[in-house]
Amino acid sequence: MPSEIAIGIHDLSIASTQYMLTHATLAAQNGANLGKYERGIGQRSMSMPALDEDIVTMAAAAAAPILQRHSADRIRTVVFATESAVDQAKAAGIHVHSLLGLPSATRVVELKQACYGGTAGLQFAVSLVHRDPAEQVLVIASDLSKYDLGSPGEATQGAAAVAMLVSAAPALVRVDEPSGLFTADVMDFWRPNYRTTALVDGRESISAYLQAVEGTWKDYTERGGRSLGEFSAFCYHQPFTKMAHKAHVHLLNYCGREVDTGAVDRAVGPTTAYNAVIGNSYTASMYLGLAALLDNADDLSNRTIGFLSYGSGAVAEFFAGTVTPGYRAHLRSAAHRAVISRRQEIDYARYRAIHEHAFPVDGGNYPVPRETTGPFRLAGLSGHKRIYELTSNPHLEA
Ligand code: CAA
């Protein structure tokens, strides 16, 4: 159901990290059956940051190609969604604003509600553009997911950023009304301020997610949303790719539909290609699913996609998007595949060193050795401040 003005995702670009660890390497180390990772949770590898990469460098790398293709003149708001923030006060988006040379007449804000934050950013952006259709909003979702070594969550780590330019007359996907909303106070996954790794009750988190699927769909249909048969594909939040399959089976059961495994695979399978090798990127995860779908599926012009965004704690939203005819001319499929293929595989020892690394917290001067071949890097820490720099790098593509 379109609003009067078509508003949605005009451009979309992804970024990830320098390194990746395969689940074969993890399984060889911890004795797990590789089938549990590759078929049970649907993950083959996970992105790992170099020491000079973080949510800011990934975010800037994702957003830079958007600013190379479009002028920044109409961008007056940058929304940065993350649950792996680098500061408790300053919005990480201000570092990105600076690295990308955005105009000073911009509002920049950081949003948090676990993995749901990117969708909050997208919906807020749609509202801002509705108020003034001449404006565009840069929405960035960027996260590093980190669990304790040896914990069940370890195999679901990952890292990525997705940048989206939200505007009127979007070239890719129109965001439709209504939305189905759901909030419940559950402690399924959380990270107290004093911890660098997340805490999770794995089974509780899956069941909380499935409750949210029901809750959002109920609200969506009560508010006059589309019927199940009108959707060509479903993008679910993917903490691990099998979760998208579980969620869709649950939705079909809830709607009293027969569950045909082939149909479930067709509805969600094309959305899992990037997440299966990148891992959980929290706020970015569902939009990586959208990128994979648009990049790899047959022509989806005028087709409707269902989006189910879930953030532990828990907040969820179901909404529909309609794909713009001619969208394929605006995709960045080759660049997205390069984001994945350029990562260097690391061995278990290197992974462990990255996992255990912590910067000193005494406020001294600590240059960070150059590791990333990406376009932006964390150059060092000084006086409790993070210092970022642009590298001269060929991976910056329009
Ligand atoms: N071959 C094929 N499949 C196998 C297998 C084998 N050899 N061995 C096991 N499996 C299957 C199991 O049957 C199971 O499948 P089902 O769930 O369909 O039954 C699957 O592999 C996983 O096995 P386990 O349940 O035994 O795995 P586990 O106890 O190690 O934990 C997990 C799995 C709970 C997802 C854990 O990885 C975890 O805690 N992850 C982090 C939390 C998470 O991602 N929660 C998801 C919802 S919360 C959310 O979405 C927000 C967010 O981003 C965190």
pLDDT in the model for residue 4: 78
- The conformation of residue 313, written as its DSSP 8-state character, comes to T
pLDDT in the model for residue 397: 46
Ligand 1 closest atom vs CA 209: 47
pLDDT-derived band at 396, boundaries 50, 70, 90: very low
Question: Residue 395's closest CA among 337, 355, 347, 356?
Answer: 337
In this prediction the pTM is: 0.97
Tell me the CA–centroid distance for residue 205 and ligand 1, in Å: 10
> Does residue 250 have its Cβ closer than 6 Å to ligand 1?
no
> Does residue 282 have its Cβ closer than 6 Å to ligand 1?
yes
Ligand 1 closest atom vs CA 155: 37
Helix and strand numbers (H, E) in the chain are 12, 17
As a whole number of angstroms, the distance between CA 114 and CA 370 comes to 30
Whether the domain at 7-172+331-390 and the domain at 174-325 fall into the same CATH topology: yes
Taking 60 as the threshold, does the pLDDT of residue 272 lie above it?
yes
Torsion of CA 246, 249, 254, 259, to 10 degrees: -160
Annotated binding site for (3S)-3-hydroxy-3-methylglutaryl-CoA: 147, 246, 280
Give the closest residue (by CA) to ligand 1 atom 53: 239
DSSP of 184-203: ----SEE--TT-SS-EE-HH
> Does residue 240 have its Cβ closer than 6 Å to ligand 1?
yes
- The conformation of residue 312, written as its DSSP 8-state character, comes to T
Q: Which parts of the chain fold into alpha helices (H)? A: 23-30, 34-35, 55-69, 92-99, 117-131, 202-222, 241-254, 261-268, 275-278, 285-296, 333-341, 348-356
Is 95 designated active site?
Answer: no
pLDDT-derived band at 71, boundaries 50, 70, 90: confident
Where are the chain's structural domains? 7-172+331-390, 174-325
Q: Which of 70, 95, 97, 237 is catalytic?
A: 237
Ligand 1 closest atom vs CA 242: 18
Is 371 designated active site?
Answer: no
Instruction: Tell me which residue has tokens 């706020």.
Output: 283
Top mutation candidate among 37, 156, 275 for ligand 1, by most atoms within 8 Å of CB: 156
pLDDT in the model for residue 393: 59
Instruction: Tell me which residue has tokens 């379109």.
Output: 2
Q: Which CATH class is domain 174-325?
A: alpha beta
Give the model confidence (pLDDT) of 356-388 as tens digits: 999 999 999 999 999 999 999 999 999 999 999
Taking 90 as the threshold, does the pLDDT of residue 2 lie above it?
no
Considering only the C-alpha atoms of the chain, give the largest distance between any 2 of them, rounded to a whole number of Å: 62
Average pLDDT of the chain to the nearest whole number: 96
DSSP of 43-97: --EEEE--TT--HHHHHHHHHHHHHHHS-STTEEEEEEE-SS-S-SSS-HHHHHH
Ligand 1 closest atom vs CA 238: 50
Strand 158-168, strand 136-145: pairing: antiparallel
Is 237 designated active site?
Answer: yes
Tell me the CA–centroid distance for residue 87 and ligand 1, in Å: 31
Task: Name the CATH superfamily for 7-172+331-390.
Answer: Thiolase/Chalcone synthase (3.40.47.10)
Taking 60 as the threshold, does the pLDDT of residue 394 lie above it?
no
Residue 287 one-letter amino acid: Y
Taking 70 as the threshold, does the pLDDT of residue 140 lie above it?
yes
